[in-house]
């Protein structure tokens, strides 16, 4: 299947590591012009070199903290200027802190909102003029399986990622007339550095081996294993591609059968 991504201009947020980086790599492998953005320039350069080597494509980097609206504005403009417009926006951010209802004050809720939901709004707002001119623009939001089934101890993520799902559905109606398709891709348990680090922490806390923690987690997943970033990136690239012409407003789980809800 031709994804129609060759020569398309793609911006991937929070992409120096993990799911963002894997998504950027998937687009680059399809011949797209890709800019990756995050806070840490050194890490971005490392990711750029890795993607360039694996995909044989030049990759742009731009520093951007998704908590800073000015940086979002400048980063998206810089990428569009360098790549001759923008066809695809992938929104992503670091996860909000874990905790339960009693752990958080107003400031924590406000920060969680800004990091997870408002950053998505701001990135989309900034990219929209370019996506409208592209005529067949695509937006893919990276969220979490918590949009279908809240995860214990992650109340900020559970609440604000559900907002991304509402935003996706609402915007699918508003943006259709401009030819823009918007979908959310929600990871279950994907083996990024962050997930592996959390496993190690849990193992230390519970005085168990990492293998034991991993096996326990994998037993919850119908396919019996944690997904790879490549498996996740491919789905993001598909929804951001011109091969997707008739799905918009959807939230798709990439979770190996972790969530059991209909």
Binding footprint of ligand NAP on the chain (CB under 6 A): 14-20, 38-40, 43, 64-67, 92-95, 142, 144, 187, 189-190, 192-195
Which of 144/244 has CB closer to ligand NAP?
Answer: 144
Which of 134/143 has CB closer to ligand NAP?
Answer: 143
Q: Shortest distance, CB of residue 145 to ligand NAP, whole angstroms?
A: 6
What residues form DSSP beta bridges with 11?
35, 89
Q: Shortest distance, CB of residue 142 to ligand NAP, whole angstroms?
A: 5
Residue nearest ligand NAP (C-beta atom): 18
Which of 169/194 has CB closer to ligand NAP?
Answer: 194
What residues form DSSP beta bridges with 33?
9
User: Could you give the CA distance from residue 134 to residue 146 in angstroms, rounded to a whole number?
Assistant: 32
Q: Shortest distance, CB of residue 56 to ligand NAP, whole angstroms?
A: 22
Six token digits for residue 185: 């891709």
Own/partner pairs for 204-207, CB < 8 Å, 24+ apart? Answer: none
Q: Shortest distance, CB of residue 137 to ligand NAP, whole angstroms?
A: 22
User: Could you give the CA distance from residue 215 to residue 26 in angstroms, rounded to a whole number?
Assistant: 28
Contact 24, 10 (CB under 8 A): yes
According to DSSP, residue 184 is labeled: E
Which of 4/150 has CB closer to ligand NAP?
Answer: 150
Which of 88/134 has CB closer to ligand NAP?
Answer: 88
Is the CA virtual torsion 249, 74, 14, 144 positive or negative? negative
Q: Shortest distance, CB of residue 189 to ligand NAP, whole angstroms?
A: 5
């Amino acid at each position: 299947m031709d994804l129609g991504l060759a020569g398309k201009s793609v911006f991937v947020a929070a992409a120096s590591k993990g799911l963002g980086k894997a998504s950027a790599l998937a687009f680059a492998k399809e011949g797209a012009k890709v800019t990756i953005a995050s806070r840490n320039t050194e890490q971005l350069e490392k990711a750029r070199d890795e993607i360039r080597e694996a995909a044989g494509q030049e990759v742009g980097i731009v520093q951007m903290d998704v908590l800073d609206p000015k940086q979002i504005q400048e980063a998206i403009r810089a990428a569009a200027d360098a790549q001759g417009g923008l066809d695809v926006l992938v929104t992503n951010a670091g996860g909000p802190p874990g905790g339960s209802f009693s752990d958080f004050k107003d400031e924590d809720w406000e920060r969680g909102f800004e990091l997870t939901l408002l950053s998505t709004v701001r990135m989309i707002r900034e990219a929209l003029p370019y996506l409208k001119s592209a005529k067949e623009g695509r937006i893919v939001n990276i969220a979490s399986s918590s949009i279908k089934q809240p995860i214990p101890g992650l109340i900020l993520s559970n609440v604000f990622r559900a907002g991304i799902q509402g935003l996706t559905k609402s915007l699918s109606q508003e943006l259709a007339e401009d030819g823009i398709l918007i979908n959310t891709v929600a990871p279950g348990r994907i083996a990024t550095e962050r997930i592996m680090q959390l496993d190690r922490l849990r193992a230390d806390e519970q005085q168990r081996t990492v293998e034991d923690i991993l096996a326990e987690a994998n037993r919850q997943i119908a396919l019996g294993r944690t997904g790879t970033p490549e498996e996740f990136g491919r789905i993001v690239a598909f929804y951001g591609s011109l091969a997707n012409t008739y799905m918009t407003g959807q939230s798709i789980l990439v979770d190996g059968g972790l969530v059991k809800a209909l």
